[in-house]
Amino acid sequence: MSDVHEGSHSAGVAARIEKRWAAISIIIIAFLTGMAAYAGVHQATMPQAQVETIDPTTLHLGGEFSEGNLGSAIEPDGSVTVRAIGQQYSFVPQCILVPARTPITLRATSADVVHGLLVQGTNVNTMLVPGYVSVQHASFSEPGEHLMPCQEFCSVGHEGMWGRVKVVTKEEFLALSETQRRLSCAK
């Protein structure tokens, strides 16, 4: 008789503990889902929600990533789109010019192997995968310079693959954009 009592008592304890753990895991899942939704709404997610593909072998022949189209362009809504490519062993443009306090959309891809594009001191950090367009959103609060190293090993010249991002005032950027369709600070 006492054995049966013991058994049902410990079964009750086990059920309570199981329910508690189930509740904890549901809370964790709800928290992670909430974080993913928040990041998605604020366009801070990586990889992007929609996948854009592009033929890496014809980048130079025309279209969005042809040479004359690389660099920073001002959009009708006042935001700035930066187009760049990574290739063994440099970024084009080598120095990206952007205005401060402006929404920036970076669109970049690779012409050969997988590269990484990281802008130091910001949350811009993406892989450039041949065949895909990487999109990142950023905004720079102050004028200044940021280093932009390749952060994916891309073969023997990898450690020499560096670019820069130069942030200028909005006024300076607007003045420069009156004379050129695409801006960069690459010499």
Closest distance to Cu ion from the beta carbon of 115 (Å): 5
User: Closest Cα to residue 160, out of 109, 70, 91?
Assistant: 91
Q: Are 47 and 129 in contact (CB under 8 A)?
A: no
The binding track of 26-55 with respect to Cu ion, each residue x by CB under 5 A or -, is ------------------------------
The C-alpha angle 48, 50, 55, rounded to 5 degrees, equals: 100
Encoded one letter per residue, x for contact with Cu ion by CB under 5 A and - for no contact, window 109-138 reads ------x-----------------------
Q: How far is the CB of 159 from Cu ion (least distance, A)?
A: 8
Given 96, 97, 148, 154, the residue binding Cu ion (CB under 5 A): 154
Comparing CB distances to Cu ion, the nearer of 52 and 159 is 159
Give the residue from 145, 23, 131, 60 showing the smallest Cα distance to 95. Answer: 145
Nearer to Cu ion, 150 or 168 (CB): 150
Q: Mark the segment that binds Cu ion (CB under 5 A) among 22-30, 75-83, 151-159, 174-182.
A: 151-159
| Residue that has been written with the tokens 């189930």 in this structure | 22
Nearer CB in complex with Cu ion: 164/182:
164
Q: Interacting stretch for Cu ion, rule CB under 5 A, among 70-78, 118-126, 135-143, 158-166? A: 158-166
Neighbours of 13 (CB within 10 A): 9
Instruction: Report the nearest approach of Cu ion to the CB of residue 47 (Å).
Output: 19
Distance in angstroms (rounded) separating the CA atoms of residues 117 and 149: 6
The one among 106, 150, 183, 185 contacting Cu ion by CB under 5 A: 150
Please report whether residue 161 would count as binding Cu ion according to CB under 5 A.
yes
The token pair at 67 is: 């040479």
Residues in contact with Cu ion, counted by CB under 5 A, come to a total of 5
DSSP per-residue letters across 128-176: E-TTEEEEEEE--SS-EEEEEE--S--STTGGG-EEEEEEE-HHHHHHH
Which residues would be at the binding site for Cu ion (CB under 5 A)?
Answer: 115, 150, 154, 158, 161
